[in-house]
Amino acid sequence: MTFEDLGLSPALLRALAENDYTTPTPIQAQAIPLILGGNDVLGGAQTGTGKTAAFGLPLLQRLAKETPPKGPRKPRALILVPTRELAVQVADNLKTYGRHLRLNVTTIFGGAGMQPQIDNLRRGVDVLIACPGRLLDHMDSGHAKLDAVEVLVLDEADRMLDMGFLPQMKRIMNRVPKQRQTLLFSATFEPRIKAMALEFMRDPQQVQVAQNSTIAETIAHRAHPVDNSRKRDLLVDLLSKRHTDQVLVFGKTKHGCNRLAEQLAESGLPAVAIHGNKSQAQRQKALDAFKSGRARILVATDVAARGLDIPNLPLVINHDLPMVAEDYVHRIGRTGRNGSTGEALSLVSPEEGGLLRQIQRMLKAEIDLTAVPGFEPSQPVRLDTPIPKNGGGQRRQPAGGRPGARMGEQKPGGERAPRKPGNRGHGKPADRSAHAHAGPKQHRPGAGRPQERRDSRA
């Protein structure tokens, strides 16, 4: 099958051909005809399979066919995302696909000035890509008007409806026309989250091209047991032996990632850190250093689990296991993309045996647990070890968020609780969302799917 077979317009086919995109991925082949037919679609596929193009191409075709209403151009398509990284990457992809269309694509997110975003909204927007917190700021101030939205997309929908986003989503839903096309795409859909998503959709068609929470078969999984106090030493030993590889290392806390990056640098291993407490400029600088090769090691919290597209990344290391097994999917999804091979390596302390068991149950497969000579743990890793109750702020919270969050209080998932209208105070709104450099060109349309989550500020 080719993109021509899917019924895409000549302008879109021309842009795809110019970027050597010829063969649609399974999620694209199944979802694009359904979306072009006007259906609501609930789409699930493992990360790196091209979900952005699956909704982006038919969305652009629909908007290009229709004549915008007279007057200021209000957004006709709204794409909601959980992070800055994802917002920028989706925008870059859509601009690539729609380069021969007269459509304006704009992003709004926290960590950036309000006024440039206001100016962009005033000039007119066809496709608005936004993080919920900052979008609510613009809605409350009257700068973002959603009454012309025809297509609503929730990208990484499991996160959008989980971890405190639901109250924000309900406010936004109340301002979007009920007669619309709604598209939800994600790598994973828990039954609880899926049930909530269906409340916003009309007779949705479901597309699931891989088993929920599955990982690319091209990724090799290994684990090394080691005492928690010796993880850094083992990491230095492993990285020193693989001195040419570009490596993404996941830690648990923001402070821990900073410290680990400093210690790696002190050991002669150029490393940079990225997490939610970094300013946008700092995050951009770290990502640029990593992608350019000036720093071959990126140490990150789960802010990077949904926000980075790094072509041909060979190795992902879990310095700390995630507290929720499905986050392993999103972390490891940074490697083994588009059919390339990748390696997922986890350092497992005796206290993390229960977390490893969670991951193995989700994968329905064992992960080889082999000690590195000289770094054997003081006690064996037991899979029946109780999961720690204090996960450093990373445990999942009930969908709908924490009750009673106060104005400006930090919520999980990357945004602050929105200020209530009429009680906004003075000065600039709080930083609510997230963003980063979109990275190099993808090998397939939409194939670079960012990911992210429990880092308390995306």
Domain locations along the chain? 3-208, 219-369
For residues 363 and 367, what is the distance between their CA atoms, to the nearest angstrom? 9
Q: Where are the beta strands (DSSP E) in 329-414?
A: 342-348, 368-369
Q: Is the pLDDT of residue 351 over 70?
A: yes
Residue type (1 letter), 109: F
Write the pLDDT tens digit of every residue in 53-82: 999 999 999 999 987 777 778 999 999 998
Average pLDDT for residues 210-218, to the nearest whole number?
Answer: 60
How many CA atoms lie less than 13 Å away from 425 in the CB half-sphere? 10
For residues 411 and 167, what is the distance between their CA atoms, to the nearest angstrom? 11
* Site of tokens 């402070």: 255
Inter-CA distances, 316 with 120, 157, 182, 388, Å = 38, 24, 34, 23
Neighbour order of strands in the sheet with 247-250: 271-274, 297-300, 247-250, 315-318, 342-348, 219-225, 368-369
What phi-psi label fits residue 146: left (phi over 0), alpha (psi between -120 and 50 degrees) or beta? alpha
pLDDT band with cut points at 50, 70 and 90 for residue 445: low
For residues 182 and 282, what is the distance between their CA atoms, to the nearest angstrom? 35
pLDDT band with cut points at 50, 70 and 90 for residue 434: very low
Average pLDDT for residues 404-408, to the nearest whole number?
Answer: 31
Torsions phi, psi for 121 (to 5 deg): -65, -40
* Percent of the residues in the chain that have a pLDDT greater than 70, as a whole number: 77
Considering the chain, what is the average pLDDT of its residues? 80
Which CATH fold topology does 219-369 show?
A: Rossmann fold (3.40.50)
- pLDDT, residue 18, reads 94
Write the pLDDT tens digit of every residue in 318-348: 999 998 887 887 788 777 565 567 888 999 9
Ranked by mean pLDDT, which of 36-45, 332-341, 402-411 comes out on top? 36-45
CA 346, 348, 353, 354 dihedral sign is negative
Domain spanning 3-208 has what CATH number? 3.40.50.300
Average pLDDT for residues 365-383, to the nearest whole number?
Answer: 93
Tokens in use for 341? Answer: 């091979």
Write the pLDDT tens digit of every residue in 122-158: 999 999 999 999 999 999 999 999 999 999 999 987 7
Alpha helices in 267-414 (DSSP H): 280-292, 325-332, 353-363
Q: What is the secondary structure of 300-316 as a DSSP string?
A: E-GGGTTT---TT--EE
For residues 112 and 279, what is the distance between their CA atoms, to the nearest angstrom? 9
The reply to whether 219-369 shares the fold of 3-208 is yes
Average pLDDT for residues 147-174, to the nearest whole number?
Answer: 83
